[in-house]
Structure 1
């Protein structure tokens, strides 16, 4: 009885308190911009938020009046800039917001408060102006609009996580939304504000708690899971039941958790097991009713972490040990081992017990890769998806080996080769710089972390009768070193012991051949290794590694070639440790096919050198040498040495344009040297030059000091010569001053360049300059010309081209060629006369290709007496290149001008009919430019605002062809579509075309912007001045269906008439976004003759052909024709022919349209329009 009384008193107290609180905690958003803004934003200037509170979450005792709202925040938080609010309440059947614009309209809610609010010790209480009647049937909507500009430094209100998409909010520092007609897109959220509803009595039976974690039917949950939930209004505590079957309580049986909102199980659950649980609430002695059961599945037992051997380890013992770290909860481990991925042919899921290591009881096979997987297990679970690893056992030692890395896929090692340890990097790579297709790459960052590569184990290291040979070169930079030795533990790089010598990569082009003779190692050692010891951190390439029994006759080494001339050279070598008794043989060839044992030698030598004679100049040779120990015992041939014979000197004229090479190579018989730490001359292409050029590219850290040398040239003492060349620095907005000298001397060396021709201490502007220098050598001989780049560090580029050396001319070329007065068929060219001026005038050569004429090229025009010339009979729409030369006498002419002048002829004006349907292009001779206007300002821009498109966006928007359109949306766009020039001199034409407007991406109609304009304009002087024929704007915007414009062109008779469409979006940023289309543009003869003007005897059926015609117009039947009257379109009779024959000869007529009247013998007339082309 006392219990019942106590319960009643509690219930009565709850009714008297008449308030319901949803949510708990002190979580707030702070300065995060990703959290929900509820009940309104204190971090943005303006906000509007709506929250849906579910009836089941409110859990009221019944219908009632809400008299106020309380929201919660920090006790000292300031709302001085976020305290102007309007509050709405409403009821809804919605359980969430379906989209980001699914606002509940204010018409479906009641405004219950408008004014300012304050923070009273952590509580913002809003007393409603009138109670709001809540029916306890629907869900409740709280909407709050905050209108005070400014913010309070962060989101201050306390929130909690509720159901998905129960909140919809919008916030902005600049835009204050209007709840009555809100157009803004909001953001949905599961975050809601902690709120107290004043005036509502809570249901004494508490609601079921809403679980927030784990999610329903979650998987992979920890075996010590934590369950969390939202606080239930009126609840004083919570109880939890957990079982392994639905409804089961074998884990927890209605355990009282107290008044908390989270619980972590104290004892570990089973792995990979589904558990069922029910969370309920209670209010004193009153429990919640029918709370839903949920479930989760625990994670599987974890895979053990293998600690040894390392992943993909090589060189392991045939009885290796595998170790791992214990998995939590595991009671044992199983292992599978096979010789293929996924294989179990060695061990098949063998149970090892609860251990953390395993040593193979039976020896594995040598040189074999094994795949293995270790799994953990417990009584109820076995790990899954554990990573399969592999290792390779030590190789079976061999007596010798040879490896060129060519039989493996780049990136993989040959069998029994391996990178040892983690330092540096090493791998096989595809390459042709040594012996194609592969070689070995090895790289060490610093000498303290050397990369090590082990070789296959051998059984002969202790004999002292074997040797190791290998090829090596630097990769990108020379100078780093390789040490060769052995590993006492093939799997441990730290056990490396050197054989005693290091080997340097001396070049990045020449290949070093190294041999280590009489190798010995301590007993038990089987494995040799390469060790990259730095010290500079440059990568090295190694190839063709051979370990072999030393032959009885050993080949020489270090073959070099010196004293290289045009027809001779000297080959030298180093004798082997045991010099051969019968000297040496050498073999050379112009092909790099190595000689065999049976190849006949080119010569013999009893010393360590031999002269080579009778060679061909400028030719690459290959040389091999071998020892001759006896008539029956000869060594193998050495590695190949190569050299190129020098070039013979040439006579003038000498021309070099760099076009015959593949960049960056230099032309044959030229050379370049780098005397500094910058870069070296090479070849490239360059803006403004034709073909290749000599190029110096800057070094960001070091100044330039590189020389380029020409081939040797025969010059005679006392004769004046001229060297001509072009040069420039790189183009670009930022100009970097470059430096260059031009010299000549008796050898292709920097020291030999003792005659300075020209110094350019500042080359700038990015302009190609033609220059020349005249000089006279003091003695007869062979001379070389050098170009020395000496720019400062971090500049840009220097270009040189078209080097020419010849006798100084006495007849000088003109300069400064210009063109003017360019029409479709003519142009004027002018130039500046040289000093002295030529006695016999000038000659011109022009072409539509930019291939410069030579001295033997026939001029196009001769006998020019002045410094200008008109060019006629040119083709329209063609680019012409023009050169000029002086003619000093009947037998002496200058070189052609160093620079040509070029120009392009425009389109020729066509005689209509002219039709452009824009089917595939805008049409020939059209132009698409921007800027300016028809009444002032030339169109100088190159942006094409008129583009091809489907007509009226059909079948797809803003794609396809078939019409031209301009999109008008962005301000300050001015676009022109200029059509082909026309010759309207005959008169009597009309123009017509189709036009329309649609929205940008659809087919609907659209208005035009307030200051937008599209105009149809005409120019009768080739585009210099324009007349507006039609204007479309906001007052007369076209429809979205096809409209036809037609205009009689009476009075428009210009011989170079251009029609154009001009569109301008103006300066006002209107909202209209639309396309203006044009299509089917036609200029044709006007049909201005009425029935009374022309009487046609249909019975005669006489035709005139061809029509249009050029010279002769034929009458299909002239037998009944008495007279022919030819009238121009102005009505003037221009020709009468009596008793005509079949052919009417009208070649004297001007081009245009005519009316040809046939007066018949029976008195009838027939008039036919005809066009003279």
Structure 2
């Protein structure tokens, strides 16, 4: 697949400080002609080469005998070097535009002018001897010799299709003209090896043969000139000292030497990873999904989830007790439904930590006590490596530890877990049978240093009425 910049870099429009002819236009921004272009054809996405193309129905030697597609006149733009030009084209029979036209359709020429179109010179031709008969696009290309475009001359380039026989559509697309010595923008920007504080930025040279670049990066949406600049930059280049869980943009331009720079390419966006949390940590789910938490589905409680990105966990007032309480819940209702809610990673290498969270089990959208089916399974899990998961607690009917409808606090000692990238998860599995409709709730997820004087745990509320509770 071709990489296109969707870019028209013309002297009169962008004000290059050094003369050079550079045209890179794929016409995908609109079916209308870009500013300064002319054509007797029209833009279309129907059977196009790629995105949008320009085409004309050419079918006689009268008023419909030609098609042209012409660049703007680039005033005093030539730097005196050869200009390499290429255009995608195809010739297909009129109507459905899917059957290729025979080779004797006529001619397609590439032409240039240095006097704003008063006189044209042909430098490449497609005719019956070299036309590729196909309903997919081929390439016409050629070189405008340096001797014909002296330094400071105007340059205008066009395609000219002239009719011979048939009734066909002529398509033109992906018009490129590059003058040797032009400093072209990099393309195919990318970011790899992303961590919580660094990323490797890379790109592909636009073809100017440069070996040095300038990079500017900053938080998503930053104004160029206010970011952090790396100059000179290699390809790839590493950025460090970034903030975790943060969206960044970056731009890059080529340094072609002697003060000649390309236009900036970008922005390209990437997001740094979440850093491991060092307790004490508390998540009250006042907003959802909290930063660095992840939803997932399917899988099993030993090997982890099989699909990250979304689940049926949802924001809901804890135990349905009223507004302003925060919390999240999972509706245990659909047969075989496996849902995950994964915490950020934690650095527990210092040891001496515990985990506690509020849990409740109610009937669906109610404050009444829920009851597990025999194969319902809810667990609090942890992993040290993201591959193998271990159970801290399993809530189910067999264990007889159904959380109270009004809520209770679960607490577990983590002193034996001293990994530097420990992740927790709440796992819910409806099982093969579904005879009830229940909600499992969590809130106030906390990982902290074990206090010297423990407060009471497993607080619970039952037998709730309008005027009393146990």
TM-score range with shorter-chain normalisation? Answer: 0.5 to 0.7
Task: Please report how far the alpha carbon of residue 788 of structure 1 lies from its aligned counterpart in structure 2 after TM superposition.
Answer: 9.8
Q: How does 1:936-947 map to 2 (within 5 A)?
A: 936=303, 938-947=305-314
Please give the alpha-carbon distance, in whole angstroms, between the structure 2 residues aligned to 1:1029 and 1:820: 35
2:72 to 681, 688, 711: 711
Please give the alpha-carbon distance, in whole angstroms, between the structure 2 residues aligned to 1:1088 and 1:737: 83
Please give the alpha-carbon distance, in whole angstroms, between the structure 1 residues aligned to 2:44 and 2:214: 37
Task: Please report how far the alpha carbon of residue 928 of structure 1 lies from its aligned counterpart in structure 2 after TM superposition.
Answer: 1.9
The number of residues matched between the two structures is 387
From the superposition, tell whether residues 963 and 667 of structure 1 become closer, same or farther in structure 2 (CA, over 3 Å): same
The yes-or-no answer on 1:1061 pairing with 2:426 is yes
The yes-or-no answer on 1:914 pairing with 2:281 is yes
Task: Please report how far the alpha carbon of residue 954 of structure 1 lies from its aligned counterpart in structure 2 after TM superposition.
Answer: 3.6
Please give the alpha-carbon distance, in whole angstroms, between the structure 1 residues aligned to 2:100 and 2:433: 48
What is aligned with 1:1006?
Answer: 370
What is aligned with 2:408?
Answer: 1043
Alpha-carbon RMSD across the aligned residues, in angstroms, is 5.3
From the superposition, tell whether residues 787 and 819 of structure 1 become closer, same or farther in structure 2 (CA, over 3 Å): farther
Please give the alpha-carbon distance, in whole angstroms, between the structure 1 residues aligned to 2:222 and 2:444: 42
What is aligned with 2:6?
Answer: none
Which structure exhibits the higher relative contact order, with contacts defined as CA atoms closer than 8 Å and separated by 6 or more residues? 2
1:976 to 337, 340, 353: 340
Please give the alpha-carbon distance, in whole angstroms, between the structure 1 residues aligned to 2:172 and 2:412: 59
Q: How does 1:324-343 map to 2 (within 5 A)?
A: none
From the superposition, tell whether residues 951 and 755 of structure 1 become closer, same or farther in structure 2 (CA, over 3 Å): farther
The yes-or-no answer on 1:809 pairing with 2:181 is yes
What is aligned with 1:1026?
Answer: 389
3-state DSSP class of the match of 1:713? Answer: coil
* Conserved 8 A contact 2:189-2:266: yes
Task: Please report how far the alpha carbon of residue 663 of structure 1 lies from its aligned counterpart in structure 2 after TM superposition.
Answer: 6.7
From the superposition, tell whether residues 1046 and 817 of structure 1 become closer, same or farther in structure 2 (CA, over 3 Å): same
What is aligned with 1:990?
Answer: 354
From the superposition, tell whether residues 805 and 832 of structure 1 become closer, same or farther in structure 2 (CA, over 3 Å): closer
Please give the alpha-carbon distance, in whole angstroms, between the structure 1 residues aligned to 2:333 and 2:228: 55
Task: Please report how far the alpha carbon of residue 1016 of structure 1 lies from its aligned counterpart in structure 2 after TM superposition.
Answer: 1.1
Task: Please report how far the alpha carbon of residue 923 of structure 1 lies from its aligned counterpart in structure 2 after TM superposition.
Answer: 2.1
Task: Please report how far the alpha carbon of residue 905 of structure 1 lies from its aligned counterpart in structure 2 after TM superposition.
Answer: 0.1
Please give the alpha-carbon distance, in whole angstroms, between the structure 2 residues aligned to 1:1076 and 1:807: 67
Please give the alpha-carbon distance, in whole angstroms, between the structure 2 residues aligned to 1:788 and 1:1033: 77
Task: Please report how far the alpha carbon of residue 810 of structure 1 lies from its aligned counterpart in structure 2 after TM superposition.
Answer: 7.2
Please give the alpha-carbon distance, in whole angstroms, between the structure 1 residues aligned to 2:22 and 2:325: 51
Please give the alpha-carbon distance, in whole angstroms, between the structure 2 residues aligned to 1:875 and 1:753: 57
* Conserved 8 A contact 1:716-1:777: no
The structure with the larger Rg is 1
What is aligned with 2:194?
Answer: 822
* Conserved 8 A contact 1:748-1:786: no
Please give the alpha-carbon distance, in whole angstroms, between the structure 2 residues aligned to 1:783 and 1:862: 34
Please give the alpha-carbon distance, in whole angstroms, between the structure 1 residues aligned to 2:100 and 2:286: 52
Please give the alpha-carbon distance, in whole angstroms, between the structure 1 residues aligned to 2:414 and 2:293: 21
From the superposition, tell whether residues 975 and 1059 of structure 1 become closer, same or farther in structure 2 (CA, over 3 Å): same
From the superposition, tell whether residues 669 and 884 of structure 1 become closer, same or farther in structure 2 (CA, over 3 Å): closer
The yes-or-no answer on 1:877 pairing with 2:240 is no
Please give the alpha-carbon distance, in whole angstroms, between the structure 2 residues aligned to 1:881 and 1:738: 45
From the superposition, tell whether residues 785 and 762 of structure 1 become closer, same or farther in structure 2 (CA, over 3 Å): farther
Please give the alpha-carbon distance, in whole angstroms, between the structure 2 residues aligned to 1:1027 and 1:1047: 13
Please give the alpha-carbon distance, in whole angstroms, between the structure 1 residues aligned to 2:381 and 2:349: 18
* Conserved 8 A contact 2:218-2:227: no
Q: How does 1:1120-1139 map to 2 (within 5 A)?
A: none
From the superposition, tell whether residues 673 and 1084 of structure 1 become closer, same or farther in structure 2 (CA, over 3 Å): same
* Conserved 8 A contact 2:320-2:365: yes
Q: Which runs of 5+ in 1 are unaligned?
A: 1-646, 675-679, 684-692, 700-704, 727-735, 765-771, 790-796, 1091-1173
The yes-or-no answer on 1:862 pairing with 2:231 is yes
Task: Please report how far the alpha carbon of residue 885 of structure 1 lies from its aligned counterpart in structure 2 after TM superposition.
Answer: 5.5
1:681 to 43, 49, 67: 43
Q: Deviations over 1:605-639 (max 9, x none)?
A: xxxxxxxxxxxxxxxxxxxxxxxxxxxxxxxxxxx
3-state DSSP class of the match of 1:979? Answer: strand
From the superposition, tell whether residues 941 and 1083 of structure 1 become closer, same or farther in structure 2 (CA, over 3 Å): closer
From the superposition, tell whether residues 673 and 1062 of structure 1 become closer, same or farther in structure 2 (CA, over 3 Å): farther
Q: Which runs of 5+ in 2 are unaligned?
A: 1-11, 57-65, 89-97, 102-107, 162-170, 455-470
Please give the alpha-carbon distance, in whole angstroms, between the structure 2 residues aligned to 1:1000 and 1:707: 68
Please give the alpha-carbon distance, in whole angstroms, between the structure 1 residues aligned to 2:262 and 2:84: 12
What is aligned with 2:83?
Answer: 721
From the superposition, tell whether residues 1069 and 912 of structure 1 become closer, same or farther in structure 2 (CA, over 3 Å): same
Task: Please report how far the alpha carbon of residue 815 of structure 1 lies from its aligned counterpart in structure 2 after TM superposition.
Answer: 6.6
What is aligned with 1:494?
Answer: none
Q: Deviations over 1:251-296 (max 9, x none)?
A: xxxxxxxxxxxxxxxxxxxxxxxxxxxxxxxxxxxxxxxxxxxxxx
From the superposition, tell whether residues 836 and 1035 of structure 1 become closer, same or farther in structure 2 (CA, over 3 Å): same
Please give the alpha-carbon distance, in whole angstroms, between the structure 1 residues aligned to 2:54 and 2:295: 38
Q: How does 1:304-315 map to 2 (within 5 A)?
A: none
From the superposition, tell whether residues 998 and 851 of structure 1 become closer, same or farther in structure 2 (CA, over 3 Å): closer
3-state DSSP class of the match of 2:40? Answer: strand
Task: Compute the TM-score of the two structures, normalised by the length of structure 1.
Answer: 0.28
What is aligned with 2:290?
Answer: 923
From the superposition, tell whether residues 655 and 868 of structure 1 become closer, same or farther in structure 2 (CA, over 3 Å): closer
Q: How does 1:496-645 map to 2 (within 5 A)?
A: none
Task: Please report how far the alpha carbon of residue 1084 of structure 1 lies from its aligned counterpart in structure 2 after TM superposition.
Answer: 2.0
* Conserved 8 A contact 1:695-1:798: no
The yes-or-no answer on 1:846 pairing with 2:214 is no
What is aligned with 1:903?
Answer: 270
Q: Deviations over 1:384-427 (max 9, x none)?
A: xxxxxxxxxxxxxxxxxxxxxxxxxxxxxxxxxxxxxxxxxxxx
Please give the alpha-carbon distance, in whole angstroms, between the structure 2 residues aligned to 1:717 and 1:813: 18
Q: Deviations over 1:992-1035 (max 9, x none)?
A: 111121222333333334433222122344x4543321222342
3-state DSSP class of the match of 1:952? Answer: helix
Q: How does 1:391-402 map to 2 (within 5 A)?
A: none
Task: Please report how far the alpha carbon of residue 706 of structure 1 lies from its aligned counterpart in structure 2 after TM superposition.
Answer: 7.6
From the superposition, tell whether residues 812 and 698 of structure 1 become closer, same or farther in structure 2 (CA, over 3 Å): closer
Please give the alpha-carbon distance, in whole angstroms, between the structure 1 residues aligned to 2:99 and 2:419: 52
Task: Please report how far the alpha carbon of residue 1046 of structure 1 lies from its aligned counterpart in structure 2 after TM superposition.
Answer: 0.4
From the superposition, tell whether residues 682 and 989 of structure 1 become closer, same or farther in structure 2 (CA, over 3 Å): same
3-state DSSP class of the match of 2:345? Answer: coil
* Conserved 8 A contact 1:883-1:896: no
* Conserved 8 A contact 2:253-2:261: yes
What is aligned with 1:965?
Answer: 329
Task: Please report how far the alpha carbon of residue 755 of structure 1 lies from its aligned counterpart in structure 2 after TM superposition.
Answer: 5.1
* Conserved 8 A contact 1:1017-1:1062: yes
Please give the alpha-carbon distance, in whole angstroms, between the structure 2 residues aligned to 1:878 and 1:842: 25
3-state DSSP class of the match of 2:370? Answer: coil
